[in-house]
Amino acid sequence: QWNQFVVLVTLIAFLLAVLMWYIYRFNRSVILLEQYKNAIDDSMIVSKTDRKGVITYVNPNFVAVSGYDEEDLLGKPHSIVRHPDTPASVFKEMWSTIRKGKNWQGVLQNRTKAGKSYYVQSLIAPIVDENGEILEYMGLREDITEIENSRLEAHEAQRIKAAFVANMSHEIRTPINGIVGFVHLLSKSHLDAVQRRYVSIIESSLESLMHIVNDVLDFSKIEEGKIELDIVECAPKAPLDAVYELFSPQAGVKQIDYTLVMDDRLYGCLMLDMLRIKQVISNLISNALKFTPEEGAVTFKIEVVEDTASHQMLRFSVIDTGIGIPKEKQDKIFEKFTQADVSTTRQFGGTGLGLSIANAMVSLMGGVLRVHSEEGKGSTFSFELNAQKCDTFQETAAALENDSLNTAAVPLSMSILVADDYEINQMLIGELLRYHYGIQADFAHNGEEAVERVRHHRYDLVLMDINMPVMDGIEATRIILSEDPTLTIVALTANVLEEDREKFQRAGMKDCLMKPLDLDALHQVLMHVHDIREKE
């Protein structure tokens, strides 16, 4: 009996020890769980709802942020804090996810009791029983209102900047259009040697001014991510030779040994964005000529560094014997508004955007713009592009097409309406049409006047400005085409962004002529309309 008693007491002691250990672990778990809960409650916005979305619990942070009392929230649908601007599709997708027992994460815009917006980074988690059945939903949220407002403010600032750039583009290009056009007409008149030299200086200055304007616009588009590639079949030799020839006069003035070295293996047809390549090369050659002293040397080199059955790897290089760039400043020259030396801007001019834009363009095309330079000895800028070979390009047809733009225009029997509120532009376009084509155009000072003129006269073509008083060109185009869908309307504008072109196309305009007016582009439009009329 004594032995049995000892065994019983030992067993009871053991069981009590085990029970005490479990009680200790349970209490410890409860304490830890309480600490976790307190940590979450202190740092996050917490709520629980039943399976139908009715609120069953909110923590003090939820009450503080939402502005509702706890009594206002309990028993109410969670949509009590939903902001009406949040799309219904967001909540549809959220419920679809959590009803499957999965967590949902996202940013939600909510509304306080006072009607003020606030933003939360949310995690909605289903709480399930031992059988996997959903009992309720727990929401853990972090207030990111300050971050989100900063993001929205930055986005709005970007939008305002884009609108400002577009407006400034219009305001700058409109008067430049008049200057460029009348200088062109002046150059065609009888001038003595001194007058011709003055006109040449004006044209050169205008070219520099337009280069600066285009740099600013391109930089703005790059920052907004709105630059897109247009990779098409092209015969690269002719345009590369043309961009080289473009700078021959500038090189001649400084007596620079200006050379083009083009690899004979360059394929006749390649898939390239030749417009962007020419833009980059033009920038590099312009810089090389600018920073190379008289009687120096500049070489534009195109090499085939790899040639396969389907592709060619091309290396474009511009090599000069100019002032060079110090080693410690070579890493910074591709940054915006940066030149190697502060005095460079005063001595040589420029916006400090050219290399930044060229670098962005090359990156967009899949290459890397590199520089190798020694101070006082010169610089080499180079980049490589992998180009796909294409079918034989019809170089002859392309050459004929280009030649047709440069041939002297012939008189055309056409009826044209020009809608533009800027009187100098009216005078310019009228003179260009009369001088080159013998066309006496009609004019309208705003969109409303253009609509009335079209109603009372049959025109072959309407050149429509966009920014006009009373009625703008977009609205006027829509009204005119609703009454006469067959009429050809072409935008004549300083709004040069890609989204502007898309807007003109949606309004029904057939083409777009940019200010300052390109005579070749005008010729193309006139000949296209003339051909259509002849077929009719």
Work out the average pLDDT over 39-68.
88
Question: How distant, in Å, are the alpha carbons of 155, 169, 224, 293, 296 from that of 165?
Answer: 15, 6, 12, 35, 38
Question: For a pLDDT cut of 70, what percent of the chain falls above it?
Answer: 81
Task: For the beta carbon of residue 71, count every other beta carbon within 10 angstroms.
Answer: 9
Q: What is the pLDDT of residue 407?
A: 39
- Per-residue tokens: 50: 């039943």
Write down the pLDDT at residue 405: 38
Residue 29 has pLDDT above 70, yes or no: no
With contact defined as beta carbons under 8 Å apart, do 454 and 480 qualify? yes
Neighbours of 496 (CB within 10 A): 18
pLDDT-based confidence at residue 401 (cuts at 50, 70, 90): very low
Confidence of residue 395 (pLDDT cuts 50, 70, 90): very low
* 460 contacts 533 by C-beta, under 8 angstroms: yes
376 pLDDT tier (thresholds 50, 70, 90): confident
**pLDDT above 90: residue 321:** yes
Phi first, then psi: give them for residue 398, nearest 5 degrees.
-65, -40
**How far is the C-alpha of 331 from the C-alpha of 322, rounded, in Å?**
18
Strand 311-320 to strand 297-307: parallel, antiparallel, or no bridges (unpaired)? antiparallel
β-pair partners for 181 = none
Q: Please check whether residue 122 is in contact with residue 103, taking contact to mean a CB–CB distance below 8 angstroms.
A: no
Residue, of 418 and 17, whose pLDDT is higher: 418
In contact, 490 and 523? CB cutoff 8 Å: no
Which stretch of 218-227, 298-307, 319-328 has the lowest confidence by average pLDDT? Answer: 218-227
Tokens 């930089």 label which residue? Answer: 219
Higher pLDDT, 37 or 8: 8
Closest to 520 (Cα-Cα) out of 366, 385, 391, 407? 407
Specify the pLDDT at position 342.
41
Confirm if 298 and 257 have CB atoms less than 8 A apart.
yes
Segment 240-256 mean pLDDT: 84
pLDDT of residue 345: 41
| Type of residue at 16 | L
Percent composition of the chain: helix, strand, coil (DSSP 3-state, to 5): 50, 20, 30
| Average pLDDT value for residue range 437-441 | 91
Max avg pLDDT among 222-236, 248-262, 382-396:
248-262
Q: Which two tokens stand for residue 488?
A: 């050809």
**Amino acid identity, position 460:** D
Tell whether the model's pLDDT for residue 184 goes beyond 80.
no
Burial zone of 94 (CB within 10 Å; 0-12 exposed, 13-18 middle, 19+ buried): middle
What residues does 49 pair with on adjacent strands? 55, 137
Query: Which of 260-274, 325-339, 506-520 is the least confident region?
Result: 325-339
pLDDT over 90 at 463, yes or no: yes
Q: How confident is the model at residue 471 (pLDDT cuts 50, 70, 90)?
A: very high
Integer CA distances (angstroms), 240 to 243, 390, 397, in order: 5, 18, 18
